[in-house]
């Protein structure tokens, strides 16, 4: 298993749990040392137990030769972050492929777990052939793990997608998962690669769609939570990924939307829908700042508490998290920003003061924003929090709280797309806010 990040560790640990022998290789000495010492370098619920339980079947190494010795499957689970042009940076993939020893015995199969542009499998195949590694198979087996529920997603997936150049290679990858009962999608390599990008892009589209519906709700006096429920009960549509909020983040959706848009563009097709999905998401993060301005006027010198920094609950991941854009926008407006998160403590949010407790973060604050829907925040509309704040303005970026209860607790409360309980004056200013954002 190349890569000891979220995907590599979860996939490696899960394969060991299924009884396979796993060697996980990474290029970061610190990461490998910590793993060898029994420490888990990422926050993923349950991962420590699975790693511990399978300690005898999992080895960690920095050494390429040790990783591939005797390997029947060579999983690639390295990062493929976007470059400045929006293309995926495949340098980590190439360093694995080009680093493979030229004399691998038998028929090991390179299995691509990393999310890569369509066509990558073909390029890897050609590169292997050029190096004389014609005995090495290649299979695309995209991952659909969501952070926070990754172990369960691995063991009970909705489907396993296997795209192979040769049927026999695909059969072997399928049999590796024989203990997992699910639908298997057998296809060619480019189709498997595209399933992954299309699935993430479609989920992102649903989020941007419901966020736009939320913005319309604010203008016409409807409640997006009820609208989403009414829409989602249609079995053709389903209820998932219809939670309106402050936009999607994380290491996958933003990257994959960009990557698919870029891939289509490079192939001569402008993917207009995804351009809109992206723009809606950028606007959605910024709307929070405009909402605060509506309540506080200029933000210069105002104190704002951000509650939650992770891009979603149950993870310490703040990559592309909406909290980052909101924090830096607030700082740019001259606000003082304090933040609390139960597990995410990023050290690169310059200018943001990280606090140990919610009460610390909200002390003397002019407003608080729920950025991540951590369960701990369900009880945030309390008398202690209200009394600690200079002004009880609470913007709920995830519609975590009941608006009626939050207002009854003495907060000036505003969710996303939930103006039903707002006064006509509030509605008018929401319309003005919308007009302003459009310009
Ligand atoms: C996502 C996909 O869900 C996984 O299937 C995929 O394997 C993974 O990307 C990947 O490509 O590796 P993940 O990024 O961990 O998983 O997180 P999600 O739970 O999908 O959430 C992504 C973002 O969308 C979060 O910021 C979340 O707050 C936001 N979101 C999600 C909403 O704003 N509304 C929703 O209704 C759902």
pLDDT in tens, 384-404: 999 999 999 999 999 999 999
Nearest protein Cα to ligand 1, atom 20? 146
Nearest protein Cα to ligand 1, atom 28? 312
User: Residue 318: is its pLDDT beyond 90?
Assistant: yes
User: Residue 430: is its pLDDT beyond 70?
Assistant: no
Which pLDDT band holds residue 84 (cuts at 50, 70, 90)? confident
Residues catalogued as catalytic: 252
- How far is ligand 1, taken at its centre, from the CA of residue 285, in Å? 16
Pocket probe for ligand 1: among 207, 242, 321, 377, the residue whose CB has the most ligand atoms within 8 Å is 207
Pocket probe for ligand 1: among 112, 146, 283, the residue whose CB has the most ligand atoms within 8 Å is 146
Q: At what angle do helices 189-220 and 224-232 cross, to 10 degrees?
A: 140
Region 271-293: what's the mean pLDDT?
97
Ligand 1 atom closest to the Cα of residue 243 is 36
Question: Distance between CA atoms of 250 and 311, rounded to whole angstroms?
Answer: 5
Which pLDDT band holds residue 435 (cuts at 50, 70, 90)? low
Please give the C-alpha separations between residue 267 and each of 119, 125, 142, 262, 279, in angstroms, as whole numbers.
11, 21, 22, 8, 21
| CB within 8 Å of 126: residues ≥ 6 apart | none
Q: Please check whether residue 160 is in contact with residue 177, taking contact to mean a CB–CB distance below 8 angstroms.
A: yes
Ligand 1 atom closest to the Cα of residue 398 is 33
Region 294-303: what's the mean pLDDT?
96
pLDDT at 433: 58
Nearest protein Cα to ligand 1, atom 30? 248
- How far is ligand 1, taken at its centre, from the CA of residue 58, in Å? 28
Region 245-270: what's the mean pLDDT?
94
Dihedral sign of CA atoms 343, 157, 94, 189 in order: negative
User: Residue 153: is its pLDDT beyond 60?
Assistant: yes
User: Residue 114: is its pLDDT beyond 60?
Assistant: yes
Pocket probe for ligand 1: among 253, 258, 287, 396, the residue whose CB has the most ligand atoms within 8 Å is 253
Q: Please check whether residue 104 is in contact with residue 133, taking contact to mean a CB–CB distance below 8 angstroms.
A: yes
| CB within 8 Å of 250: residues ≥ 6 apart | 147, 311, 312, 317, 319, 320, 321
Smallest CA-to-CA distance from 161 within 184, 177, 194 is with: 184
- How far is ligand 1, taken at its centre, from the CA of residue 366, in Å? 31
Q: Please check whether residue 58 is in contact with residue 24, taking contact to mean a CB–CB distance below 8 angstroms.
A: yes
Region 50-55: what's the mean pLDDT?
96
In 76-188, which residue ranges form alpha helices assigned H by DSSP? 91-99, 120-130, 150-155, 167-176
Ligand 1 atom closest to the Cα of residue 372 is 28
Dihedral sign of CA atoms 9, 13, 18, 24 in order: positive
Q: Please check whether residue 342 is in contact with residue 374, taking contact to mean a CB–CB distance below 8 angstroms.
A: yes
User: Residue 421: is its pLDDT beyond 90?
Assistant: no
- How far is ligand 1, taken at its centre, from the CA of residue 253, in Å? 7
Q: Please check whether residue 352 is in contact with residue 376, taking contact to mean a CB–CB distance below 8 angstroms.
A: no
Which pLDDT band holds residue 46 (cuts at 50, 70, 90)? very high
- How far is ligand 1, taken at its centre, from the CA of residue 290, in Å? 25
pLDDT at 215: 97
Q: Provide the terminal-to-terminal Cα distance of the chain, rounded to the nearest Å.
A: 49
Region 403-427: what's the mean pLDDT?
83
Q: Please check whether residue 128 is in contact with residue 94, taking contact to mean a CB–CB distance below 8 angstroms.
A: no
205-229 per-position pLDDT tens digit: 999 999 999 999 999 999 999 999 9
Question: Distance between CA atoms of 286 and 323, rounded to whole angstroms?
Answer: 10
- String of DSSP letters for 355-412: ESSHHHHHTT-SEEEE-S--GGGGG-SSHHHHHHSSS-EEEETT--S-HHHHHHTT-E
Instruction: Please indicate, yes or no, whether the overall pTM of this predicted structure exceeds 0.85.
Output: yes
Nearest protein Cα to ligand 1, atom 11? 252
User: Residue 436: is its pLDDT beyond 70?
Assistant: no
Which pLDDT band holds residue 420 (cuts at 50, 70, 90)? low
Region 114-132: what's the mean pLDDT?
96
User: Residue 424: is its pLDDT beyond 60?
Assistant: no
Which pLDDT band holds residue 83 (cuts at 50, 70, 90)? confident
The chain-wide mean pLDDT, for the chain, equals: 95
- Output the ligand 1 site: residues, CB below 6 A: 115, 143-147, 200, 203, 207, 241-243, 245, 248-250, 252-253, 311-312
Q: 68-72, 82-86, 411-415: which has the minimum mean pLDDT?
A: 82-86
Instruction: Pull the structure tokens for residue 355.
Output: 């606090």
């Amino acid at each position: 298993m190349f890569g000891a990040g979220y995907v590599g560790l979860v996939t490696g640990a899960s394969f060991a749990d299924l009884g396979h022998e796993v060697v996980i290789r990474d290029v970061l000495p610190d990461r490998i040392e910590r793993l060898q010492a029994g420490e888990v370098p990422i926050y993923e619920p349950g991962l420590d137990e699975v790693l511990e339980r399978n300690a005898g079947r999992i080895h960690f190494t920095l050494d390429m030769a040790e990783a591939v010795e005797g390997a029947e499957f060579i999983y690639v689970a390295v990062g493929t972050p976007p470059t400045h042009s929006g293309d995926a940076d495949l340098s980590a993939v190439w360093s694995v492929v080009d680093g493979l020893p030229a004399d691998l015995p038998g028929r090991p199969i390179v299995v691509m777990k990393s999310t890569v542009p369509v066509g990558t499998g073909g390029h890897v195949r050609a590169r292997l052939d050029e190096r004389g590694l014609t005995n090495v198979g290649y299979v695309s087996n995209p991952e659909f793990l969501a952070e926070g529920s990754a172990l369960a997603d691995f063991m009970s997936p909705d489907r396993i997608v296997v795209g192979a150049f040769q049927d026999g290679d695909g059969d072997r990858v399928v049999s590796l998962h024989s203990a997992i009962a699910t639908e298997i999608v057998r296809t060619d390599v480019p189709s498997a690669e595209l399933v992954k990008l299309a699935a993430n892009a479609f989920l992102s589209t649903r989020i941007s769609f419901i966020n736009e519906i939320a913005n319309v709700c604010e203008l016409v006096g409807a409640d997006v939570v009820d609208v989403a429920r009414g829409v989602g009960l249609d079995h053709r549509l389903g209820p998932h990924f219809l939670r309106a909020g402050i936009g999607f983040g994380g290491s996958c959706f933003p990257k994959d939307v960009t990557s698919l848009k870029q891939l289509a563009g490079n192939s001569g097709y402008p993917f207009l829908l995804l351009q809109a999905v992206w723009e809606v998401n950028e606007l959605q993060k910024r709307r929070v700042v405009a909402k605060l301005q509506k309540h506080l006027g200029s933000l210069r010198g105002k104190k704002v508490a951000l509650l939650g920094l992770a891009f979603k609950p149950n993870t310490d991941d703040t990559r592309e998290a909406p909290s980052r854009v909101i924090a830096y926008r607030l700082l740019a407006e001259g606000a003082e920003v304090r933040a609390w998160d139960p597990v995410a403590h990023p050290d690169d949010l310059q200018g943001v003061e990280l606090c140990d407790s919610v009460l610390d973060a909200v002390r003397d604050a002019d407003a608080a924003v729920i950025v991540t829907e951590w369960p701990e925040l369900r009880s945030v509309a309390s008398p202690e929090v209200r009394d600690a704040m200079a002004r009880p303005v609470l913007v709920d970026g995830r519609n975590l709280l009941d608006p009626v209860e939050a207002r009854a607790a003495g907060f000036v409360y505003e969710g996303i797309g939930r103006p039903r309980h707002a006064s006509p004056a509030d509605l008018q200013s929401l319309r003005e806010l919308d007009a302003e954002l459009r310009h």
